[in-house]
Structure formats: structure tokens, C-alpha cells
Structure 1
Amino acid sequence: MSPIEPIFDKKYECLFCKKPFISKKVRSRFIKVSHFDSDFFPIYQSEDANPLHYHIMVCPSCGFSFSEDFSKAFPPGAKETITHEVCSRWVPHNFSGKRSIHQAIQTYKLAILCGSLKKEKHITMAGIYMRVGWLYRLLENQEQEQRFLKLALKEYEDSLYYGDYTRTQVTEIRLLYLIGEVSRRLNDRQKAVQYFSQVIEKQRQSVEPNIIEMARERWREIRDNS
């Protein structure tokens, strides 16, 4: 009996062209987190079973790339724009096999293009930008990591302003913390303190005491290093 592989084939239907295709996923039993960075970046015990590599699905037929967080609806005009900007330029490529970190980054950049043209939610786009930043962190490419954290921060702030994080797994407390933490990582201490303070002020309303404590820890670090 052959051993069970960490990654397996999962069937998907393209949100855009509706054609079926296969994309890899990591079996839950193999997903083992060693620890989390302060911006919730999960460090996995094995790079062979890193779910970050397979977060994005890329349709081999039309090139439309998306995550499970993408909505199924397309606003008026979006399909025509995607056909022109993505599908008509798509050189058939298959990302259905095992992905290297560089291939994973490619899929995220494709999803950024598609999500932007589709006018996907700010909170969804923020999550994609953050994951690219995390992958560049693994590659120790600080310049690119900072670039994508800045893009994520803009989307997180827009999500808070427009409220499109509601009805997602991201709570207001988590969003405020993320804006503070990403600001801290981008060396904007004033903004970081502002948002960490908002998190701490909401402690009586929160059911996420771990995030309250994380905000306190980051606030202390900024104070002690100032």
C-alpha cells in the first residue's frame, strides 16, 4: 500500500469560463504550523505541505485566477475587461502540479490582476497581497515584502472604511490589529500606535482576547524602542 501524499488533486470549476480543472490542495492532516509571526503569517513545519502555495486556482483554459474567497458575481463590464486583459493574452499554462515558491508567487500575481479587474472585495485583495508578502519574507526579499505589505495595508484600510470585511472571517478587532501591525512593519509607528490603541479600547466588546494581548505586546515594543 503506497503512502498517502500530502497534496492531492481537487476539482474546481472556473468562475469565469465555467470549465472544470484540477488544482492541488494540502491534506489537512499534513498541515502543521510551527508558529505564527505577529501578522498571523503561519510558519509550517514542512515546505512540502505549505497551503500558501496552493491558495490560488488558475484555470488552464482561460487564465482566470482566483481564491475560494472570490465572489461568484461579476460587476457590469468586468467580464469584457477580463476577456481583453487576461483571456486574450493567456498563453496556455498549467499550475495544477506541485508548486515551487516562485510558481506560487506567479499564481498570486495572476489573481491580483484578475481580482483587480473583477473589482473583488478589498478584504479579499488584502489577503492576497499579504500572502505574497509572506512568501517574499520566506525568500528573505525585504524590498518585495515591503512592497506587497504596503499594497495590503491600503486594501485593509479601504476594507475598514467601506466595511466589506463584514460577513467574512475577519472581525473588526482583527482588522484594526492588522492595520496596526502592518503599519509597524512599515515603520509607521504613529499609525501603528493609533490602531493598537483602538484594539485595546475595544477589549470589553471583544471575544478575541489573544488579539487584545498581541496589540498590547506590540504597543509595548514600540514604546520600549522609541
Structure 2
Amino acid sequence: MGEFTFTVEKQCPICGESTRVVKTKSKLSVERTDEDFCVHYKGFNPYLYKIWFCEKCGYAADEKTFLGSMPVVHKRKIKEFLDKKKLGMEFVEVRRVPDAVAAYKLAIFYAEMTDQPLAKQAGMYLGLAWIYRYSAEKDKEMEMLQQAADLYDKSLMTERYPQNGMSDDMALYLVGAIYVRMQNYEKATQYISRLIGDQGLRERDIHLYKQARDLWQTIREDKEDAK
């Protein structure tokens, strides 16, 4: 199909029909990575294709959720909702920003409907923020970053980690990094200082400790520049 993508058929976990989804090829050239782990690739934005949706019924989720096992009660809840609504989005092989945003918003809607972990919902808002970052829609990016930070914060207080492939240390770092992106240095300091002040972090994750220390330095420099 394209230089960076290819289309495959997958079975929808809700309606059971076969639907086309677009996958990205693994060989992508990285240009840089932001503090909050948003990777900038050369000539392509794979985040546009992170959410799969069923062109038959309108269900949307990330690949892992789409292909994973779902509790019967969640499946029933979504199916009952979709039986009353017609949400089928048009399948496109080449996604533009509005297509990706619509897919993300649908996936977030279903994640909230089925009480997915807050850390997972936060990750989706963060992914949506990255879509807006790529398309230079600053206000919308900031709005989504705030949603992600709020949810990660709630998650850290109420959920047991690891969550969504992350340790609680990583989640703490990520919230701090998100606040750096938002230039809220006071909030960023609160989170990153907790990591740096944790004596055990060096033993648990030396790489993350170094990242936190570097981010702390960035916060100090940015605060000075802002004066």
C-alpha cells in the first residue's frame, strides 16, 4: 500500500465481522524524542494509525485491546450501545488528522464506558495530544495534556502498578514531563522532586533516575529563562 503502512483484515471483537485496519511498518526513522516520550519520525506520523476501528459497527480501540480478550459484560455494554447508534466510520487507507482524532475520541469514549484503568485512559489522551503536536495545534495539545496529567495523577493515587506497561516511577516521571511541556514548572517540580528524592530509584531503575535528573536540570534552566 504505502511506504510506511499496510492494510490487513481483522475480526471485530464486538460485532464479529471482518474489518480492514491499517498497520504501520516497523522500520521507521526516528528524528527525536520529547520529554513525554512522543517520538518524532522522519516523514511519517504513526500515531495517526494507533487506533483501530471497525468499519462495520463503529467500535474503536488500540490494537492490544482490539485483539485482546474482553469481559463479556463490557462487550454486551458496547454492543447494546452500538445497536442503538450507527457509528460506522468510513475506512481510509491514508489517515489525516481529523480521521485520527475521531478514532481516538471514539476509543476514549469506549474506554470510559467500560471503566478501563485510568492509566490506560490517560495514555489515550496523551496519544491524542501527540497527534495535535504533530499538526501544531497547540491549544488542543495543551487541553489533552492536562486531561492526561489529571488522569495519571488520579491513577497514581488509586490504582496498583504496573499499569498499561508502566511502573509507578515511570508514571510519576511522565506526569512531570507533561507539566514541563505545559510550562507548569511548579507542578513539574512536585513530581520530579519525588523521584529524585527517592533513594531506592537508582537501584530500581538507573536509566529513569538519570532521565529524572536531566529533566530536573531542564526545569531549572527553563525557570531561569522564564524570569
Asked whether the two chains share a fold, i.e. TM above 0.5, the reply is: yes
- With over 3 angstroms needed to count, the CA separation of the structure-2 counterparts of 1:75 and 1:195, relative to structure 1, is farther
Mapped pair 1:222 → 2:225: no
Mapped pair 1:65 → 2:60: yes
TM-score (norm 2): 0.85
Mapped pair 1:181 → 2:173: no
Task: Answer whether contact 1:181 1:192 (CA < 8 A) is retained.
Answer: yes
- With over 3 angstroms needed to count, the CA separation of the structure-2 counterparts of 1:213 and 1:87, relative to structure 1, is farther
Task: Answer whether contact 2:29 2:41 (CA < 8 A) is retained.
Answer: yes
Which of 47, 50, 54 lines up with 2:49 in the alignment? Answer: 54
> Corresponding residue for 1:109?
105
Structure 2: how far apart are the matches of 1:87 and 1:96? 23
> Corresponding residue for 2:88?
92
Aligned-pair CA distance for 1:39: 0.8
User: Which has the higher mean CA deviation after the structures are superposed, 141-150 or 191-200?
Assistant: 191-200
Structure 1: how far apart are the matches of 2:184 and 2:83? 39
Mapped pair 1:146 → 2:142: yes
Amino acid at match of 1:129: Y
> Over aligned residues, Cα RMSD in angstroms?
2.3
User: Which has the higher mean CA deviation after the structures are superposed, 141-150 or 94-103?
Assistant: 94-103
Aligned-pair CA distance for 1:165: 4.2
Amino acid at match of 1:217: D
- With over 3 angstroms needed to count, the CA separation of the structure-2 counterparts of 1:63 and 1:165, relative to structure 1, is farther
Structure 2: how far apart are the matches of 1:80 and 1:204? 45
Which of 4, 20, 27 lines up with 2:25 in the alignment? Answer: 27
Task: Answer whether contact 1:53 1:99 (CA < 8 A) is retained.
Answer: yes
> Corresponding residue for 1:37?
34
- With over 3 angstroms needed to count, the CA separation of the structure-2 counterparts of 1:65 and 1:165, relative to structure 1, is farther
Deviation readout 1:32-58 (Å, 9 max, x if unpaired): 2111011110000022xx321111110
Structure 1: how far apart are the matches of 2:4 and 2:131? 20
- With over 3 angstroms needed to count, the CA separation of the structure-2 counterparts of 1:217 and 1:5, relative to structure 1, is closer
User: Which has the higher mean CA deviation after the structures are superposed, 212-221 or 151-160?
Assistant: 212-221
Structure 2: how far apart are the matches of 1:86 and 1:165? 32
Q: Kindly report which structure 2 residues correspond to 1:119-158, keeping only aligned pairs within 5 A, or say none.
A: 119-158=115-154
Structure 2: how far apart are the matches of 1:75 and 1:161? 28
> Corresponding residue for 1:18?
16
Amino acid at match of 1:38: E
Amino acid at match of 2:63: E
Aligned-pair CA distance for 1:75: 7.1
Aligned-pair CA distance for 1:115: 1.1
Q: What secondary structure, in the 3-state scheme, does the structure 2 residue paired with 1:28 have?
A: coil
Aligned-pair CA distance for 1:222: 2.5
User: Which has the higher mean CA deviation after the structures are superposed, 81-90 or 198-207?
Assistant: 81-90
- With over 3 angstroms needed to count, the CA separation of the structure-2 counterparts of 1:157 and 1:75, relative to structure 1, is farther
Mapped pair 1:8 → 2:6: yes
TM-score (norm 1): 0.85
Residue identity (%): 27
**How many residue pairs align between the two structures?**
219
- With over 3 angstroms needed to count, the CA separation of the structure-2 counterparts of 1:96 and 1:141, relative to structure 1, is closer
Structure 2: how far apart are the matches of 1:102 and 1:20? 24
Structure 2: how far apart are the matches of 1:44 and 1:81? 37
Moved over 3 A (4+): 78-81, 83-87
Q: What secondary structure, in the 3-state scheme, does the structure 2 residue paired with 1:205 have?
A: helix
